[in-house]
Chains A and B, each alone.
Chain A
Amino acid sequence: MTTPQQETVALGVAAPAARQAMRLQTRHWVLAGAIAVALVLPFVFQGFVVFQLTEVLIYGLAILGLNLMTGFNGQFSVGHGAFFGVGAYVTAIMMQRWNVPYYWTLPPAGIVCFVVGILFGLPALRLRGLYLALVTFAAAVALPQLLKFHGLEGWTGGVQGIVVNQPDVPAFLPIIDADQWLYLFTLAITLLMFWGASNLTGSRTGRAIMAIRDHEIAAAAMGINAPLYKTLTFGVSALYTGVAGALSALAVQFVAPDSFSLFVSINFLVGLILGGMGSLPGCLFGGLFVLYVPNIAESLSRGLAGVAYGVIMLLVIFVMPSGAAGFARYVGGLLARHREVELPAHRATPNAVARPAQRVEHQRAESAEND
Chain B
Amino acid sequence: MKHLTRRRILAAAPAVLAFGGPLLSARPARAAKKYGPGVTDTTIKIGNTCFYSGPASSYGTIGRAMAAYYKMVNEQGGVNGRKIEFISYDDAYSPPKTVEMTRKMVEEDHVLLDAGPLGTPTNSAIWHYMNQNKVPQLFVSTGASKWDDPKGHPWTIGWQPNYHGEGIIYANYILKQKPDAKIGVLYQDDDFGKDYLRGITDRVGTKGPAKVALAASYETTDATVDSQIIAIKAAGCDAFVNTAIPKFAAQAIKKAAQIEWKPIHVLSSIGQSVAVTLKPAGLENSVGIVTDFYLKDPTDPQWKDDAGYKWWVAFMGKYYPNGDKTDVNNVYGPSNAATVVQVLKQCGDELTRENVMRQAANLHNFQVPMLLPGITINTTPTDFAPVKQVRMARFSGQRWELFGPLLTGEIG
- B107 is contacted by which of A47, A158, A294, A300 (Cβ under 8 Å)? A47
| A305–B91 CA distance with the chains assembled, in angstroms | 12
Tell me the chain B residues, 53-87 only, with Cβ under 8 Å from chain A. Answer: 53-55
CB distance from B109 to the nearest CB of A (A): 10
| A254–B4 CA distance with the chains assembled, in angstroms | 32
| A48–B52 CA distance with the chains assembled, in angstroms | 22
**B52 close to A46 (CB less than 8 A):** no
A248: B residues at CB distance < 8 A: 96
Known: A256-B121, A259-B94, A298-B90. A163 touches B107 (CB 8 A): no
Which of B19-27, B123-131, B249-257 forms contacts with chain A? B123-131
Known: A48-B104, A161-B124, A163-B124. A254 touches B95 (CB 8 A): yes
Interface size class of A (residues with CB under 8 A): 20 to 34
| A258–B191 CA distance with the chains assembled, in angstroms | 11
A163: B residues at CB distance < 8 A: 124, 127-128
Shortest Cβ distance from B97 into A: residue: A294
- Does A76 make an interface contact (CB < 8 A)? no
Tell me the chain A residues, 234-255 only, with Cβ under 8 Å from chain B. Answer: 248, 252-254
- B95 is contacted by which of A52, A259, A291 (Cβ under 8 Å)? A259
- B103 is contacted by which of A47, A158, A161, A305 (Cβ under 8 Å)? A47
- Does A207 make an interface contact (CB < 8 A)? no
A301: B residues at CB distance < 8 A: 3
B54: A residues at CB distance < 8 A: 263
- Does A159 make an interface contact (CB < 8 A)? yes
Interface of B is mostly: helix
Chain B residues within 8 Å of chain A by Cβ, number? 36
What 0/1 readout, one digit per residue, does chain B (33-55) give for beta carbons within 8 Å of chain A?
Answer: 00000000000000000001111
| A305–B101 CA distance with the chains assembled, in angstroms | 15
Shortest Cβ distance from A257 into B: residue: B121
In this complex, which of A161, A252, A254 has the most chain B Cβ atoms within 10 angstroms of its Cβ? A254
| A313–B94 CA distance with the chains assembled, in angstroms | 21
**A148 close to B190 (CB less than 8 A):** yes
**A259 close to B121 (CB less than 8 A):** yes
**B55 close to A48 (CB less than 8 A):** no
**A254 close to B99 (CB less than 8 A):** yes
- Does A339 make an interface contact (CB < 8 A)? no
**B99 close to A252 (CB less than 8 A):** yes
Shortest Cβ distance from A254 into B: residue: B125
| A306–B60 CA distance with the chains assembled, in angstroms | 14
**B100 close to A55 (CB less than 8 A):** yes
**A48 close to B93 (CB less than 8 A):** no
- Does B384 make an interface contact (CB < 8 A)? no
**A48 close to B107 (CB less than 8 A):** yes
- Does A205 make an interface contact (CB < 8 A)? no
CB distance from A67 to the nearest CB of B (A): 21
Shortest Cβ distance from B129 into A: residue: A253
**A302 close to B125 (CB less than 8 A):** no
Shortest Cβ distance from B1 into A: residue: A301
A52: B residues at CB distance < 8 A: 100
A306: B residues at CB distance < 8 A: 53
B97: A residues at CB distance < 8 A: 294
- B55 is contacted by which of A47, A259, A261 (Cβ under 8 Å)? A261
- B52 is contacted by which of A51, A257, A259, A305 (Cβ under 8 Å)? A305
A252: B residues at CB distance < 8 A: 95-96, 99, 125
**A161 close to B121 (CB less than 8 A):** yes
A160: B residues at CB distance < 8 A: 124, 146, 191
| A261–B51 CA distance with the chains assembled, in angstroms | 15
Shortest Cβ distance from B322 into A: residue: A303
CB distance from A149 to the nearest CB of B (A): 9
| A305–B190 CA distance with the chains assembled, in angstroms | 30
- Does B108 make an interface contact (CB < 8 A)? yes
- Does B7 make an interface contact (CB < 8 A)? yes
- Does A299 make an interface contact (CB < 8 A)? yes
CB distance from B177 to the nearest CB of A (A): 31
**A294 close to B92 (CB less than 8 A):** yes
**B96 close to A259 (CB less than 8 A):** yes
**A299 close to B53 (CB less than 8 A):** no
- Does B89 make an interface contact (CB < 8 A)? yes
Q: List 26 A-B contacts (CB under 8 A).
A: A46-B107, A48-B104, A48-B108, A49-B108, A51-B99, A55-B96, A148-B190, A158-B191, A158-B194, A159-B191, A161-B121, A161-B124, A253-B99, A254-B95, A254-B99, A254-B124, A254-B127, A257-B121, A258-B95, A258-B121, A258-B122, A259-B121, A263-B55, A294-B53, A298-B90, A299-B3
- By a beta-carbon cutoff of 8 Å, the part of chain B in contact with chain A is 3-4, 7, 52-55, 89-90, 92-97, 99-100, 103-104, 106-108, 120-122, 124-125, 127-129, 146, 189-191, 194, 219
Contacts A48-B108, A161-B124, A248-B96 known; 16 new A-B pairs at CB < 8 A: A48-B103, A51-B100, A148-B189, A159-B121, A252-B96, A254-B127, A254-B128, A256-B125, A258-B122, A261-B55, A263-B55, A263-B92, A291-B100, A299-B3, A299-B4, A306-B53
Nearest first, the 10 A-B pairs at minimum CB distance are: A48-B103, A159-B191, A254-B125, A48-B107, A258-B121, A256-B121, A259-B95, A252-B96, A47-B107, A298-B90
